[in-house]
């Protein structure tokens, strides 16, 4: 009888990714500055992006850049799948995962910039992106077959590297936003919370 690889030791990767997603999501929710009502994030994101683009100012430029970034990451990913670049170019997976971490974190930070200014904290985006990345690993475990022939060790290393690259991208955004706030605070010492709201 043929056994699906989902019932092998490699299931530990899928189950572990699911547990990591739950734990890091809980951590993110407990952090200062985490936005309320996560179920409404998508509708808020769309309405803020549309409103931002209508302003035709710096905010519109940022939303346009974030959209182009998202399209570029999606294009790189699907090109990698369709043309089998993931198998041929060893660093392609690193590129797409780090770029997606940057993109998701940047969208999260920019769409909640008013709260970030009020609380002075954006570090919640790091565990949030890690939770999203771990959730994506669960999706791959359940619905993709590329890992079926991999050894447990190869699958574990690939998953850990993917999550590290996502988290690195999110960390770069959190550091950039924090540095921006520090520089802005120094340039405008009279303003209580200058931040980067637009």
Quickly state the pLDDT bin for 6 (edges 50, 70, 90). Answer: confident
Q: Look at residue 193 and tell me whether its pLDDT is greater than 90.
A: no
- Give the pLDDT score at 52: 79
How remote is the C-alpha of 50 from its chain's centroid?
21
Residues whose CB is less than 8 angstroms from the CB of residue 105 and which lie 6 or more positions away in sequence, other chains included: 125, 126, 128, 129, 169, 170, 172, 173, 174
The model's pTM:
0.88
Give pLDDT, residue 37.
83
Instruction: Give the model confidence (pLDDT) of 127-141 as tens digits.
Output: 999 999 999 999 999
Residues 52-110 pLDDT 10s: 788 878 888 898 899 999 999 999 999 999 999 998 999 999 999 999 999 999 999 98
């Amino acid at each position: 009888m043929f056994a699906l690889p989902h019932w092998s030791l490699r299931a530990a990767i899928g189950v572990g990714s699911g547990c990591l997603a739950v734990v890091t999501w809980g951590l993110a929710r407990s952090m200062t500055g985490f936005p309320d009502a996560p179920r409404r994030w998508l509708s808020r994101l769309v309405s803020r992006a549309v409103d931002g683009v209508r302003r035709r100012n710096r905010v519109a430029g940022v939303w346009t850049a974030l959209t182009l970034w998202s399209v570029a990451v999606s294009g790189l990913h699907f090109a990698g799948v369709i043309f089998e670049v993931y198998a041929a170019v060893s660093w392609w997976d690193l590129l797409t995962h780090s770029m997606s971490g940057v993109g998701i974190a940047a969208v999260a930070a920019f769409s909640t910039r008013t709260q970030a200014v009020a609380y002075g904290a954006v570090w919640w985006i790091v565990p949030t992106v890690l939770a999203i990345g771990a959730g994506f690993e669960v999706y791959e475990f359940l619905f993709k077959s590329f890992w079926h022939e991999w050894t447990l060790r190869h699958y574990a290393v690939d998953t850990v590297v993917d999550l590290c690259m996502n988290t690195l991208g999110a960390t770069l955004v959190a550091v950039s936003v924090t540095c921006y706030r520090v520089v802005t605070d120094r340039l405008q010492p009279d303003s209580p919370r200058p931040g980067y709201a637009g």
